[in-house]
Structure 1
Amino acid sequence: MSYLAGNSPGSLEPWEEEYSQHVSQSLAQLSHKHRLIILLSVGLITAIEVSNRLSINVLLPDLQGNVAGTSDEVSWVVILYNLGFLCSMAISYWMTRVLGSRRHLLISIAFYATGAIGCFLSPHSLRLLLISRVIMGFGGGAFLVRTVILVRLMFPGSASIFAISCLYAELSAFEVVYPVAMGWISDTLRWNYAFLLDFPFLAIGTFLIWKYLPWGHLSLHSEKSYLDAWGGGLLLAALGAMQIALSRGERDLWFQSPLIVCCLVVAVVCFAGFLWWDWRPENPAPVFHLRTIWREAALRSYVMIVAIVGAMLGAGLYVLPQYLRFVQDYSATQTGGFISTYTIGLGIGLLITVRYVQPRLGGVRVVALGALMMCASSINFIYIWTPTTPTWLLALSIFLQGLSMAPLVRGASNIATGQAALFDVNDISTSYFFIRQLGNTFGVTAATVMFDRRQTLHSARLVDVANRLDPTLQSTLAQYSSLIERSGGAASNPALGAIQIFQSDVITQSRLLSYIDIYFGLAVLSAIVFFLVIVTRPKNTSAPTRPHFHLW
């Protein structure tokens, strides 16, 4: 059986031809049942990581109160996880070549579990929580891309349909249940106890990987003995400095802060050094095979679209629970139910796209369709969001948002990686997920910055309008005061209570308007994606594309 069959681009490098023969010989020794067990074992760990990453947004309001953090500080719970995730993903293929698949996955599980324990032990410590999130993200970054690569390597051609269906069912089951389960634990016990939910499944997955995933390296013998410390160090330094600069820039006034300037300089210098180091022909086993990646015209052409799709995923899932918890006052369990509705819509949309839409329209038209649907969905939220929007309308709109994201993310993965030869799948898939996750990080950072700026603006304008409508304001305060006087008892202070209620109304309304502004930004990004995919579409669309498994 050939595990690397299919069309191959010309001008192959010697390592690619050797890699083709080596992987085919290694995987041909495994039976179909053995390969399926391996895939579902790694898929179990991936399902836990993806579901936890999705559900953490449900816990952020509870977490913010317990660690006494601002909205900016709490956003670092997501941002620093993404930073660790990016660093791990960037070196995941390199680590697999050096350590072997089984050892790399087991070490990553150990990192992820250590970070989860740290999160559990930090109910009131923001510093410990943030450190633990970096460690957890560094462990979690290896799972998703490894699963995608295993699907394409172990199940070529028509064999991939059944394998992808089994894996998708496994992932979807956890994604639907996990948000509600973590929300219920947060409501019943405390938010940090929700991280303990991972451990039974981590233990099962660890045992299965240890038992069924064979020892050895799916890599070249020349690569196993070489450790590209310079390449990995330069890339990690660039990512860390860049994330600090982007996350702290707004608060520290950007170029007025020596720290921000220093971080930006370090990021640029280290990234330029990494590009030079990784591109050199003398480097026998680079972190990325940049020459191979650059040869993929599709990935080069659609890199901006992939990053924007990642930003939309990150920003949308960050803002939605904030609205449900702070404006609508839903519990964590109820908010988890809404997020589960989102994942159901996404799952149905992916299934419809894969089976019916994409075969008929192709990747470019699917992205254009998804961009239009996502633009309409975002505009819908702009018009329906109020502090009293009915539950049924919210649930339907959130379901439609997930349904709209499906063709967008599926199409983006197809146009960017669908023409990659299977011996390039490690580099191309890793690069794709790295770019998308980088966009995810930028999206959460941008949403946080935009929220702070717009909330300040809206609060000032609301108070200014209230001052200009003084008779109406005084009448409203009098009604609040009368209500407090009737039900508050003799010890109450009606005048002070009325002002506090009014302040709460201003804060709630300014939050709502800020969330609406962010979704207006998502609608604009959707329009930009539509424009980009039309402008950058290839003139020759006859080249075959391979089915590319994608979930998040």
Structure 2
Amino acid sequence: MSDAEPAPAPEERADAAAWLAVAAGTLGALMATLDISIVNSSLPTIQGEIGASGTEGTWIATAYLVAEIIIIPLSGWLERLFGLRTFLLLAAGLFTLFSMLCGVSTTLTMMIIGRVGQGFTGGALIPTAMTIIATRLPRSQQPIGNALFGATALLGPVAGPVLGGWLTENLSWHYAFFINLPVGAALITLLLVAMPHKRSNLALIAEADWLGIIGLAMGLGGLTVVLEEGEREQWFSSSTIIWLTIVSAVGFMLLAAGQFFARRPVIRLALLRNRQFGSVVVMVTVVGMVIYGTSYAIPQFLSAIAGYNSLQAGQIVMLSGAPVILMMPFTPWLIRTVDIRLSVAFGLTVLAFSAWLETDLTSVSDGSSFVDSQLLRGVGTVFCMMFLNQAAIRSVPAEQASDAAGLYNAARNLGGSFALAGIAVIQDQRLWLHSRRIEETLSANAINVQDYVAGQVQALGGQGRAMRMIEGTIQMQALTMTYSDLFWILTVGIILVSPLALFLRPLPKGAPMAAGH
């Protein structure tokens, strides 16, 4: 009598409540990632209504990212402190309230306060979505949840400008924030229905890495302000910049002290000594610069040079989302079968090529000049981000996966913050430089210059109008050259970090996607 083979164990399946919880987490992450860039294509309109200059307007985007960078590493501790459902309900409710504050803002100060509040609360919604996937779905179904989350994380920053642009053109820029009210209400309802209540553990307050928390806020906050305001304040000739630099330095020292004295540091910087994880952090920082920097710079170029409205500019940015949507169903298979080093190297090469395509912009360039580069950028982003996320989680022991996920997500947003601050600095410097160089080529005594001026005087009916016309032409050409410089810098930055892909170790063949939380 032959031994009967044991029947295979039935595959575990998630129930409806678990999928509702995943839907809640994904909706929260989508809302948070959308609001990173939803103002980008509407910034010229918002700046005009609240009385902010172009350089000051970058704060509307940067304030959100900086606040997110600070809160993301804290999310794991806050989950344990309040319980996951209570923490998410607080985050969703406050995010909605801060969105309303942004929507009714009449000054730059009000807007920045609202955006900082959005960043603190919205940033908590991103890593907790991965926690829900990891804890509520069986391992066999986690790739589906991870694909849903990956789609929101990649689509949010590129869908934001087109949604914000449509609302601005058809309703008002205020509705780019008011739209969070019904979404927030739906999210809170899903959380109440699908998430089980867990008791708070307020005793963890005494165990927190307060040195690291305070140092993180002082260090990153001070550094970002220095980068944003340094050019306008003439750098270290300003006492404000000097004091902010000191605040930032003290903050980073406190963060370093927390690594030695805290039982569980807010950011476990020791993970950076891991060659693979350190390489991933450097690469994802640069990729973050590309994602958030281009989603900010392209709408600004199209508005200033091509005369596009908010919706038209947002539609161009959204093009990079098309490859994300098409490729997302195949990413679990790609991760199981393609060597991670080849994938990341290929993705970085495509990103570098997409940025290089935008270095030949002219004053007559329009949205069509960005079609090919945006589609390629979407392809490169999928190959980079999906694989780098897996590499970050698998490069550390399982008990440190949440620390790695927090540091990974903070690095991505930090890259975006540096990109936005850097754009403001470079734009001021290069615009001045290119304007002077163009003026140097126009000798007032040259016959062709005099003939051109005379023709403009006759056509416009006055010398004053003619000179303003010439000045406007110089500024437009200089601004175009400045944007080309920005894309050159991104191209070179990507090329410099590309060799780090060689430090990555292949993922286990046939292994399911890792869930970072």
What is the TM-score of this pair, normalised by structure 1?
0.83
In terms of mean alpha carbon deviation, does 394-403 or 202-211 score higher? 394-403
Residues 470, 184 of structure 1: alpha-carbon distance in 2 compared, 3 angstrom cutoff:
farther
Q: How far apart in 2 are the matches of 1:78 and 1:438?
A: 13
User: Tell me, what secondary structure is at the counterpart of 2:139?
Assistant: coil
Could you tell me which residue of structure 1 aligns to residue 49 of structure 2? Answer: 66
Q: Which of residues 404, 407, 419 in structure 1 aligns to 2:383?
A: 407
Q: Which of residues 158, 162, 168 in structure 2 aligns to 1:186?
A: 168
Q: How far apart in 1 are the matches of 2:89 and 2:72?
A: 15
Q: How far apart in 1 are the matches of 2:243 and 2:203?
A: 38
Could you tell me which residue of structure 1 aligns to residue 196 of structure 2? Answer: 214
1:208 CA drift (Å): 1.0
Q: How far apart in 2 are the matches of 1:245 and 1:43?
A: 34
Q: Which of residues 326, 337, 346 in structure 2 aligns to 1:348?
A: 326
Could you tell me which residue of structure 1 aligns to residue 348 of structure 2? Answer: 371
1:548 CA drift (Å): 4.3
Alpha-carbon contact 1:342-1:399 (below 8 Å) kept: yes
Alpha-carbon contact 2:302-2:366 (below 8 Å) kept: no
Q: How far apart in 1 are the matches of 2:353 and 2:444?
A: 36
Alpha-carbon contact 1:313-1:440 (below 8 Å) kept: yes
User: Tell me, what secondary structure is at the counterpart of 2:97?
Assistant: helix
Q: How far apart in 1 are the matches of 2:222 and 2:160?
A: 33
Identity %, equivalent residues: 22
Q: Which of residues 461, 475, 495 in structure 2 aligns to 1:507?
A: 475
Residues 52, 270 of structure 1: alpha-carbon distance in 2 compared, 3 angstrom cutoff:
closer
1:103 CA drift (Å): 1.5
> Deviation digits for residues 362-396 of structure 1, max 9, x if unmatched?
2222121112111211111112x223235444323
Alpha-carbon contact 2:352-2:491 (below 8 Å) kept: yes
1:217 CA drift (Å): 5.9
Could you tell me which residue of structure 2 aligns to residue 23 of structure 1? Answer: none
User: Tell me, what secondary structure is at the counterpart of 2:179?
Assistant: helix
- 1:517 matches 2:504: no
1:253 CA drift (Å): 3.2
- Equivalent residues in 2 for 1:388-399 (5 A)? 388-389=364-365, 391-399=367-375
1:68 CA drift (Å): 2.8
Could you tell me which residue of structure 2 aligns to residue 547 of structure 1? Answer: 513
Residues 350, 456 of structure 1: alpha-carbon distance in 2 compared, 3 angstrom cutoff:
farther
Q: Which of residues 233, 242, 247 in structure 2 aligns to 1:266?
A: 247
Q: Which of residues 236, 244, 252 in structure 1 aligns to 2:233?
A: 252
1:90 CA drift (Å): 2.7
1:430 CA drift (Å): 0.9
Residues 289, 455 of structure 1: alpha-carbon distance in 2 compared, 3 angstrom cutoff:
closer
In terms of mean alpha carbon deviation, does 339-348 or 293-302 score higher? 293-302
Q: How far apart in 1 are the matches of 2:218 and 2:91?
A: 20
In terms of mean alpha carbon deviation, does 78-87 or 184-193 score higher? 184-193
1:316 CA drift (Å): 1.7
Q: Which of residues 83, 105, 118 in structure 1 aligns to 2:88?
A: 105
Could you tell me which residue of structure 2 aligns to residue 35 of structure 1? Answer: 18
1:455 is aligned with what amino acid?
L
Q: How far apart in 2 are the matches of 1:246 and 1:417?
A: 31
2:245 is aligned with what amino acid?
L
1:468 CA drift (Å): 6.2
Alpha-carbon contact 1:172-1:347 (below 8 Å) kept: no
1:228 CA drift (Å): 4.3
Alpha-carbon contact 1:185-1:193 (below 8 Å) kept: yes
Q: How far apart in 1 are the matches of 2:421 and 2:160?
A: 25
Q: How far apart in 2 are the matches of 1:442 and 1:458?
A: 23
Alpha-carbon contact 1:226-1:284 (below 8 Å) kept: yes
2:285 is aligned with what amino acid?
A
Q: How far apart in 2 are the matches of 1:167 and 1:529?
A: 26
Q: How far apart in 2 are the matches of 1:154 and 1:104?
A: 17
> Deviation digits for residues 242-295 of structure 1, max 9, x if unmatched?
222232223333333333233223322332223323433xx455434556x468
1:549 CA drift (Å): 6.4
1:176 CA drift (Å): 7.0
Q: How far apart in 1 are the matches of 2:171 and 2:53?
A: 23
Could you tell me which residue of structure 1 aligns to residue 358 of structure 2? Answer: 381
Could you tell me which residue of structure 1 aligns to residue 60 of structure 2? Answer: 77
- 1:361 matches 2:338: yes
1:501 CA drift (Å): 2.0
- 1:199 matches 2:181: yes
Residues 506, 165 of structure 1: alpha-carbon distance in 2 compared, 3 angstrom cutoff:
same
User: Tell me, what secondary structure is at the counterpart of 1:467?
Assistant: coil
> Deviation digits for residues 156-193 of structure 1, max 9, x if unmatched?
53211232345556778877765333212212343233
1:133 CA drift (Å): 1.2
> Deviation digits for residues 92-126 of structure 1, max 9, x if unmatched?
11111111111111222233223212211224x11
> Deviation digits for residues 108-161 of structure 1, max 9, x if unmatched?
2233223212211224x1111112111111111111111123223333532112
Q: How far apart in 1 are the matches of 2:442 and 2:326?
A: 46
Q: How far apart in 1 are the matches of 2:329 and 2:294?
A: 21
Q: Which of residues 264, 271, 287 in structure 1 aligns to 2:266?
A: 287
Q: Which of residues 66, 74, 79 in structure 2 aligns to 1:96?
A: 79
Residues 513, 223 of structure 1: alpha-carbon distance in 2 compared, 3 angstrom cutoff:
same
> Deviation digits for residues 56-77 of structure 1, max 9, x if unmatched?
2111121222233222211111
1:466 CA drift (Å): 2.3
2:431 is aligned with what amino acid?
Q
In terms of mean alpha carbon deviation, does 470-479 or 37-46 score higher? 470-479
Structure 1, unaligned stretches of length 5 or more?
A: 1-28, 485-492
Q: How far apart in 2 are the matches of 1:296 and 1:468?
A: 61
Q: How far apart in 2 are the matches of 1:443 and 1:524?
A: 14
Q: How far apart in 2 are the matches of 1:166 and 1:83?
A: 25
Structure 2, unaligned stretches of length 5 or more?
A: 1-11
Q: Which of residues 482, 488, 494 in structure 2 aligns to 1:526?
A: 494
Q: How far apart in 2 are the matches of 1:495 and 1:549?
A: 67
1:226 CA drift (Å): 3.9
In terms of mean alpha carbon deviation, does 263-272 or 522-531 score higher? 263-272
RMSD: 2.9
> Deviation digits for residues 285-317 of structure 1, max 9, x if unmatched?
5434556x4685532343222222222222222
Could you tell me which residue of structure 1 aligns to residue 103 of structure 2? Answer: 120
Residues 332, 449 of structure 1: alpha-carbon distance in 2 compared, 3 angstrom cutoff:
same
Paired residues in the alignment total 504
Residues 181, 239 of structure 1: alpha-carbon distance in 2 compared, 3 angstrom cutoff:
closer
Residues 276, 380 of structure 1: alpha-carbon distance in 2 compared, 3 angstrom cutoff:
same
1:162 is aligned with what amino acid?
I
